[in-house]
Amino acid sequence: MSEQGCVVVTGGSRGIGRAVALQLAADGFDIAFCYRTGGAAAEETEKEIRELGVECYHAPCDVADLESVQAFVKTVEEKLGGIAGLVNSAGIVKDNPMVLMPAADWHAVIDTNLTGTYNFCRSVVFGFMKRRSGVIVNISSVAGVFGNPTQSNYSAAKSGIHGMSRALAKEVAGYGVRVNVVAPGFIETDMTAGLGEKARKAALGMIPMKRIGEPEDVSDLVSFLVSDRAAYITGQVIQVDGGIAF
Ligand code: NAP
């Protein structure tokens, strides 16, 4: 087991969560990650994490289900020891203009992105407070900063993460626990792979740096925020978006 302890990464099988898991493994942390379906992507991520010389545990766990989350956290503590950090990256989109949005899609996006983040924070934070150390990084989105048409559910969930994280940061700062948010812009993952040519062009038009970001653009910042180099940074929402302006 790593002397630095382990970091839990939700949605670690693919995309940004996977890049975060690999970077934190390279930083020397053991990694526990969860996903909804996982499959070959999860196995491949585990293989690459282990090649970096650290321990890895992964299992399916629906972040929206508090009981599953509590059971996952308990198993991680049994298998990998104390949890040093948590990165909430699991997320989904179900886009539609509000006028067409089914209630089920509203709730699914809030339940996964916002309640899922609460469920994991709630399940680790008491342990962090008792140990007087711990780091949380929640992944939101520029949609939570600016609002994005067809994404009222997603924008609400991500704005909610900002408020929740700022409040939690104040609650736990005196216990040596830090909470920050990383808000990515457009990043090349399965989530954005479905963007048509027109939408991709429109996205590039909003990005002064004129490129879609890579998952590693996000994981580099997460790595910094988890590390002691960020020891005096808490309660912040930091955008990684090529200078995007809506
Ligand atoms: P992605 O490639 O679609 O990966 C999503 C990950 O979340 C997968 O590992 C998926 O597991 C997991 N997941 C989804 N629902 C889950 C649930 N209910 N319980 C547990 N795990 C679940 O997405 P991404 O682009 O990496 O996005 C990661 C985070 O960054 C999300 O919070 C997203 O909102 C945010 N973000 C992304 C972008 C972007 O442009 N890509 C921009 C801004 C913010 P399965 O594979 O098993 O389904």
Atom of ligand 1 nearest to the CA of 35: 21
Best mutation site among 35, 159, 216, 240 for ligand 1 pocket (most ligand atoms within 8 Å of CB): 35
Q: Which of 35, 57, 118, 154 is catalytic?
A: 154
Q: Is 153 in the pocket of ligand 1 (CB under 6 A)?
A: no
The predicted structure's pLDDT at residue 122: 98
The predicted structure's pLDDT at residue 245: 74
Beta pairing partners, 6: 30, 83
Q: What distance in Å separates the CA atoms of residue 217 and residue 107, rounded to the nearest whole number? A: 30
The predicted structure's pLDDT at residue 204: 94
Residue 194 token pair: 């479905």
Strands annotated E in the chain: 6-10, 30-35, 56-60, 83-88, 134-139, 177-184, 237-240
Chain-centroid distance, C-alpha 43: 19
Residue nearest (by alpha carbon) to ligand 1 atom 33? 91
Q: Is 193 in the pocket of ligand 1 (CB under 6 A)?
A: no
Sign of the dihedral through C-alpha 215, 217, 218, 221? positive
Q: What distance in Å separates the CA atoms of residue 110 and residue 71, rounded to the nearest whole number? A: 22
Burial letters for 45-70: b for 16+ Cβ neighbours within 10 Å, e otherwise? bbeebeebebbbbbbebbbbebebbb
Q: Is 144 in the pocket of ligand 1 (CB under 6 A)?
A: no
The predicted structure's pLDDT at residue 194: 85
Which residues in the chain land under pLDDT 50?
none
**Residues 6+ away with beta carbon under 8 Å from 116:** 10, 63, 64, 69, 88, 90, 91
Q: Is 85 in the pocket of ligand 1 (CB under 6 A)?
A: no
Residue nearest (by alpha carbon) to ligand 1 atom 21? 35
Kind of pairing, strands 30-35 and 56-60? parallel
Strands annotated E in 130-188: 134-139, 177-184
**Residue found by looking up tokens 């994404």 in the block:** 151
Residue 63 token pair: 């972040």
Atom of ligand 1 nearest to the CA of 212: 40
Best mutation site among 189, 190, 192, 237 for ligand 1 pocket (most ligand atoms within 8 Å of CB): 189
Asked about 154 being catalytic, the answer comes back as yes
The predicted structure's pLDDT at residue 195: 85
